[in-house]
Homo-oligomer: A and B are copies of this chain.
Amino acid sequence: MRPVLCLMANELFGEITEDAWHAAAAIELFHNFTLIHDDIMDKAPLRRGNPTIHAKYGMTAGILCGDITCIYSYRELAKVRNVLPLVLQIFNKTGIEVCEGQQLDMDFESRNDVSIDEYIHMITLKTSVLLACSLKIGGLLGGATEGNANKLYEFGKNLGIAFQLQDDYLDAFGATDKLGKQQGGDIKANKKTYLHLKAWETASAFQRQGINEWLQNDSEEKVPAMLNLFGETGADVACREAVNLYSQKAFESLEDVAVISKRKHALHELASYLLQRDK
């Protein structure tokens, strides 16, 4: 997704450049670097249906494989010929934010007082800024003005937030066959998703007691019971509304990019598809 966004942002302004291909590859490598290290931290046994690197080759190889993939991403980025210092600056800033987002995500696991604002901040750093960076760099390499590049950044950032919140929603309420993963995985893992945090925020004392009890409980009724609590507290509706809010912000930013609408059509289509919205 990230390299495609980079190339499509370039295409808004002109023919795809050699530079944009390098930047797209760099961003994809960087993303994979973070996945390799995240999987170690999450003790994840599988990624894309295959054993994770640390699970197959050990933690040492996992750390080093991530490290070298990070350097590979810079090796690819260093091939960019135009506005390299600017591209590096955006890329570095984003990389630092992604690491900070991952640290926040880890910190949240052991905290019981995470606010919705903090959660949005965390997913913005962990997920959205790299989408935003892909679009901004792609735009700049296509010849965008700084103003247009920043609008693309805002588009990507809000798209990323909407996408992550959609993901939280579908993990709980999506049909298993469409997801390609088990329904309620986040609930089973006690993950503090938007739904969980929102339910907690609005829950009565009695409902909070229920949430706390289900957190300790691993029986089969856990998923349906938590889904029920998400409904009772209105967290499900709030989550859909938040998806819509950030989607809307995203499309408004795309709207503001000063190129003819026809050129933006493909990017609009892709975003709509990602958000599984009807056009």
A positions within 8 Å CB-CB of B: 33, 37, 40-41, 59-61, 63-64, 66-68, 70-72, 74-75, 78, 81, 84-85, 88-89, 92-93, 95-96, 99-100, 102-103, 106
Given contacts A59-B41, A70-B70, A84-B85, contact A92 B64 (CB under 8 A): no
Give A95 to B78 CA distance when docked, in angstroms: 14
Number of copies: 2
- Does A99 contact B85, Cβ atoms closer than 8 Å? no
- Does B96 contact A64, Cβ atoms closer than 8 Å? no
- Does A78 contact B67, Cβ atoms closer than 8 Å? no
CB contacts (< 8 Å) of A40 on chain B: these are 59, 63
Instruction: Please name the residue on chain B nearest to A67 by beta carbon.
Output: B99
- Does A89 contact B95, Cβ atoms closer than 8 Å? no
- Between A and B, 11 residue pairs with Cβ closer than 8 Å are A40-B59, A41-B60, A41-B63, A60-B106, A63-B63, A66-B67, A68-B100, A71-B96, A75-B89, A78-B92, A81-B85
